[in-house]
């Protein structure tokens, strides 16, 4: 599935979400790439995610996050952000030493991104994600785009 189709599917299938207790004025202090780093390293350990309209909790803190979740959270704080920007940011990090990881979640049937400080790299390079894409598809996009 192309990035355009993935973006369309995420925007149609996901409700707007944000971090509980983390506000737009705090996010505006950093560019999207830095926000994604902060999100995976720190913010996700301190803040759960909530639905924007109802404030109902979607996911508690300290959980791994899917591409769709990450994109929708980024879109809340940075309305002009694109899925390409998020994909390029994520795939410039995962697979590097230092704890940047993704793995398949059998409970949600989605690929989950996370940061595990001090742990090795865990990247399932050949398993397709929930959009039927192999990780090499996203890596190719990351290599051909600038962040």
Number of structural domains the chain divides into: 1
74's tokens: 């980024």
Q: For residue 121, what pLDDT is reported?
A: 56
Tell me how crowded residue 48 is: count the other CB atoms within 10 A of its CB.
Answer: 15
Residue 31, pLDDT above cutoff 60: yes
Span 133-139, average pLDDT: 85
Q: For residue 2, what pLDDT is reported?
A: 92
Q: Where is pLDDT greater, at 141 or 54?
A: 54
Strand order in the sheet with 100-105: 65-66, 110-115, 100-105
Tell me how crowded residue 54 is: count the other CB atoms within 10 A of its CB.
Answer: 9
Range of 74's domain?
Answer: 3-144
3-class SS of residue 49:
strand
- CA dist., res. 73 & res. 51, Å (int): 10
- CA dist., res. 95 & res. 114, Å (int): 11
99 falls in which pLDDT band (50, 70, 90)? confident
Residue 3, pLDDT above cutoff 80: yes
Number of residues that this document lists for the chain: 147
- CA dist., res. 96 & res. 125, Å (int): 13
Q: For residue 87, what pLDDT is reported?
A: 94
pLDDT digits (tens, 9 = 90+) for 36-95: 999 999 999 999 999 999 999 999 999 999 999 999 999 999 999 999 999 999 988 886
143's tokens: 């290599």
Q: For residue 145, what pLDDT is reported?
A: 72
Residue 127, pLDDT above cutoff 90: no
Q: For residue 122, what pLDDT is reported?
A: 59
């Amino acid at each position: 599935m192309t990035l355009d189709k993935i973006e369309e599917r995420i925007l149609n299938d996901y409700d707007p979400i944000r971090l509980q207790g983390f506000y737009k004025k705090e996010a505006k202090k950093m560019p999207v790439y830095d926000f994604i780093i902060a999100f995976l390293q720190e913010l996700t350990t301190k803040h759960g995610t909530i639905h924007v309209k109802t404030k109902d909790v979607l996911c508690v803190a300290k959980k791994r996050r899917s591409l769709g979740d990450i994109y929708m959270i980024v879109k809340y704080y940075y309305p002009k952000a694109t899925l390409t920007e998020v994909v390029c940011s994520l795939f410039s990090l995962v697979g590097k030493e230092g704890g940047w990881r993704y793995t398949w979640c059998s409970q949600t049937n989605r690929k989950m991104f996370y940061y595990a400080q001090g742990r090795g790299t865990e990247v399932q390079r050949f398993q397709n994600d929930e959009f039927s894409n192999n990780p090499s598809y996203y890596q190719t996009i990351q290599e051909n785009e600038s962040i």
